């Protein structure tokens, strides 16, 4: 088995002008989904690629599944160290000029790598594509993420991130990174990024080159009881974790950015409508356990209105819907609030 502590990646390899693509699958106790993820990576129509599978100390039989693939994948079996540790190990073992990180509970379509390479150009730091949302059985639920129904990031988007603290971005499995950009950010600090380790990669790679957005579903994003990918308003533990865990706190991203010479304002990152929605849902559902001191419904209502007006490229219908959401969440009865704070809202 490969060891992350000793793996040394050679220089990026090209083949007749085609870049090598590395698909790095990270897994922890997702044996029930792991085969589908590996099979989707091996089924790519783009042939100049390598598939690396990192198992982060699973105890559910994942290791046997990985071993069954033999030499078709590059296995890395390691002790549990968290998401950042798994990404670091996979990246260290990879050789590709383009690197894709695939969560073991997600899948890629067969054309994903080919479409990324087709869209790639010099100076790109990250390409992103839509993911079709599916349930735990793989059945589509009729949504794509990101929806790309407003601003579609293409080119240099640094100014937008600095000014507004966000941009429409895909979850971890919907991104492909230039190795040169990842070299600026990795290895990640494994203590800080024990979970949600894709956040600094998604958020900061645009400062090292252009972004390309592909408006097509090139993967499947699985929603199930074990992941934490939605606003789960009725599940306060998950909601509070999103608000208080160090890897979700704006100051953490700003601190990482500062080490790379990037100036970001945590007040801007903390005032996006998405984050204020989380805070409003939390304080309405259970104000006694709300983890952010100083928050009140009135303060969050004002912040939510300002964010909905300030954030660019929102369709009028979306902007109006957000404004109504914040008003109703601030003053509405709990019977309505509990529905608005439910998953998927």
pLDDT digits (tens, 9 = 90+) for 59-98: 999 999 999 999 999 999 999 999 999 999 999 999 999 9
Q: Is residue 286 domain-resident?
A: yes
Which H or E run includes 274? helix 273-285
Domain assignment present for residue 113? The answer is yes
Residues 44 and 130 in one domain: yes
Tokens of 46: 């783009």
What is the phi/psi pair of residue 143, to 5°? -130, 150
φ, ψ for residue 106, nearest 5 deg = -115, 175
- Say how many C-beta atoms besides its own lie within 10 A of residue 66's C-beta: 25
Same domain? For 165 and 105 the reply is yes
Tell me whether residue 9 is in a domain.
Answer: no
Q: How confident is the model at residue 343 (pLDDT cuts 50, 70, 90)?
A: low
- Distance CA(167)–CA(189), nearest Å, equals 24
Residue 231 falls inside a structural domain: no
The answer to whether residues 216 and 297 belong to one domain is no
Residues 216 and 317 in one domain: no
The DSSP code for 150 is: S
Q: Is residue 8 a part of any domain in this protein?
A: no
User: Do the beta carbons of residue 100 and residue 198 sit within 8 Å?
Assistant: no
Confidence of residue 177 (pLDDT cuts 50, 70, 90): very high
Same domain, 185 and 321: no
Q: Considering only 160-174, 200-214, 313-327, which range has the smallest mean pLDDT? A: 313-327
Q: What is the pLDDT of residue 7?
A: 41
How many Cβ atoms from other residues are within 10 Å of residue 241's Cβ? Answer: 17
Cβ atoms 82, 190 nearer than 8 A: yes
Same domain, 186 and 249: no
CA distance 135 to 122: 37
Domain boundary among 166, 199, 222: 222
Same domain (yes/no): 104, 188: yes
Structural domain containing residue 79: 14-222
What is the total count of domains within the chain? 2
Q: What percent of the chain has pLDDT over 90?
A: 76
Pair 217, 285 in one domain: no
End residue of a domain, out of 193, 222, 251: 222
In a domain, 60, yes or no: yes
Give the pLDDT band (50/70/90) at residue 232: very low
Q: Examine the domain organization and report whether 307 and 188 are in the same domain.
A: no
Position 38 in a domain: yes
Cα separation, 277 vs 322, whole angstroms: 9
**Residue with the two structure tokens 């998953």:** 343
Q: Tell me the average pLDDT of the chain.
A: 90
Q: Is residue 208 part of a domain?
A: yes
Please indicate, yes or no, whether residues 65 and 135 belong to a single structural domain of this protein. Answer: yes
217 and 242 both lie in a single domain: no
Residue 265 to residues 39, 138, 165, 226, Cα–Cα distance (Å): 42, 39, 8, 32
Q: How is residue 58 written in tokens? A: 């699973």
Which of 152, 187, 222 terminates a domain? The answer is 222
Q: Is the pTM of this model over 0.75?
A: yes
Rounded-to-integer distance, Cα 109 and Cα 21, Å: 15
Judged against a pLDDT cut of 60, whether residue 345 lies above it is answered with: no
CA angle at 146 for the pair 143 and 148, rounded to the nearest 5°: 100
- Are the beta carbons of 113 and 23 closer than 8 angstroms? yes
214 lies in the same domain as 243: no
């Amino acid at each position: 088995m490969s060891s992350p502590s000793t793996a040394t990646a050679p220089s990026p390899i090209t083949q007749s002008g085609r870049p090598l693509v590395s698909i790095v699958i990270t897994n922890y106790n997702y044996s029930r989904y792991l085969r589908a993820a590996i099979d989707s990576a091996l089924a790519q129509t783009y042939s100049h690629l390598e598939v690396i599978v990192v198992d982060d100390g699973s105890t559910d039989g994942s290791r046997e599944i990985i071993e069954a693939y033999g030499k078709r994948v590059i296995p890395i079996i390691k002790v549990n160290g968290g998401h950042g540790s798994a990404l670091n190990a996979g990246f260290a073992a990879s050789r590709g000029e383009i690197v894709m990180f695939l969560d073991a509970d997600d899948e890629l379509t067969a054309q994903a790598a080919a479409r990324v390479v087709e869209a790639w150009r010099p100076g790109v730091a990250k390409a992103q594509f839509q993911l079709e949302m599916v349930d735990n059985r793989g059945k589509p639920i009729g949504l794509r993420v990101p929806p790309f129904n407003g601003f579609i990031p293409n080119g240099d988007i640094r100014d937008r991130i600095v000014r507004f603290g966000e941009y429409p971005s895909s979850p971890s499995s919907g991104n492909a990174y230039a190795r040169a950009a990842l070299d600026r950010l990795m290895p990640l600090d494994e203590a800080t990024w024990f979970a949600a380790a894709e956040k600094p990669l998604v958020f900061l790679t645009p400062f090292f080159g252009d972004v390309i957005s592909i408006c097509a579903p090139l993967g499947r994003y699985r929603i199930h009881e074990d992941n934490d990918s939605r606003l789960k308003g009725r599940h306060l533990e998950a909601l509070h974790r999103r608000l208080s865990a160090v890897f979700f706190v704006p100051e953490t991203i700003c601190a990482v950015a500062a080490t790379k010479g990037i100036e970001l304002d945590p007040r801007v990152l903390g005032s996006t409508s998405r984050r204020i929605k989380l805070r409003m849902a939390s304080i309405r559902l259970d104000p006694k356990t709300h983890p952010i001191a100083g928050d009140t419904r009135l303060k969050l209502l004002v912040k939510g209105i300002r964010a909905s007006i300030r954030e660019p490229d929102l369709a009028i219908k979306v902007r109006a819907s957000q404004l109504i959401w914040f008003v109703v969440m601030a003053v509405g009865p709990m019977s309505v609030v509990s529905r608005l704070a439910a998953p998927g809202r």
